Chains A and B, each alone.
Chain A
Amino acid sequence: MENNISLTLKVWRQNGPKEKGRFETYKLEKVSTDSSFLEMMDILNEQLINDGNEPVAFDHDCREGICGMCSLYINGRPHGPDDDVTTCQLHMRKFKDGETITIEPWRSAGFPVIKDLIVNRNAFDTIIAAGGYTSVSTGGVPDANAIPIPKVDADEAMDAASCIGCGACVATCKNGSAMLFVSAKVSHLALLPQGKVEAARRAKNMVAKMDELGFGNCTNTGACEVECPKGVSISNIARLNREFLKAKLQD
Chain B
Amino acid sequence: MSTIFGSSIGRKLLMSLSGLFLVVFLIIHLSINLLLLVPDGGQMFNVAANFMALPLIKYGLQPVLFAGFIVHIIYAAILTAQNNKARGSAKYASGNNTKDVMWASKNMFVLGLTVSAFLVVHLIDYWVPLQITHAAESITIDGVEMHNTYALVNAAFAESWRVILYVIGALGLTIHLTHGFWSAFQTLGLSNNIWRKRWTVIGIAFAWIVGLGFSLIAILQFAFYQ
Q: Is the CB of B8 within 8 A of A210?
A: yes
| B10 proximal to A (CB < 8 A) | yes
Report A205 CB to chain B, min CB distance, Å.
Answer: 11
Query: Considering residues A214, A221, A243, which has the most beta carbons from chain B within 10 angstroms of its beta carbon?
Result: A221
CA distance A251 to B1 in the complex (A): 6
Report B116 CB to chain A, min CB distance, Å.
Answer: 18
CA distance A107 to B87 in the complex (A): 7
Q: Is the CB of A217 within 8 A of B105?
A: no
CA distance A116 to B114 in the complex (A): 41
Report A16 CB to chain B, min CB distance, Å.
Answer: 15
Main SS class of interface, A: mixed
Flag A158-201 by CB within 8 Å of B: 1 or 0 each. 00000000000000111111000000000000000000000000
Q: Which residues of B contact A221 (CB under 8 A)?
A: 101-102, 105-106
Report A87 CB to chain B, min CB distance, Å.
Answer: 14
| B54 proximal to A (CB < 8 A) | no
Q: Which residues of B contact A177 (CB under 8 A)?
A: 8, 83, 86
B-facing residues in A194-227 (Cβ within 8 Å): 207-208, 210-211, 214-223, 226-227
CA distance A107 to B93 in the complex (A): 11
Q: Which residues of B contact A211 (CB under 8 A)?
A: 7-8
A-facing residues in B58-109 (Cβ within 8 Å): 79, 82-83, 85-102, 105-106, 108
| B147 proximal to A (CB < 8 A) | no
Per the CB 8 Å criterion, the residue count for chain B at the interface is: 46
User: Which interface class (under 10, 10 to 19, 20 to 34, 35 or more) fits A?
Assistant: 35 or more
Q: Is the CB of A75 within 8 A of B106?
A: no
| B174 proximal to A (CB < 8 A) | no
Q: Which residues of A contact B108 (CB under 8 A)?
A: 219
| B13 proximal to A (CB < 8 A) | yes
User: Which residue of A104, A233, A239 is within 8 Å of B93 (Cβ)?
Assistant: A104
Q: Which residues of A contact B96 (CB under 8 A)?
A: 76-77, 172, 174, 223
A residues contacting B by CB (< 8 A) are 10, 12, 23, 73-77, 81, 102, 104, 107-110, 113, 172-177, 207-208, 210-211, 214-223, 226-227, 233-235, 237-246, 248-249, 251
B residues contacting A by CB (< 8 A) are 1, 3-4, 7-13, 79, 82-83, 85-102, 105-106, 108, 179, 182-183, 186-193, 196
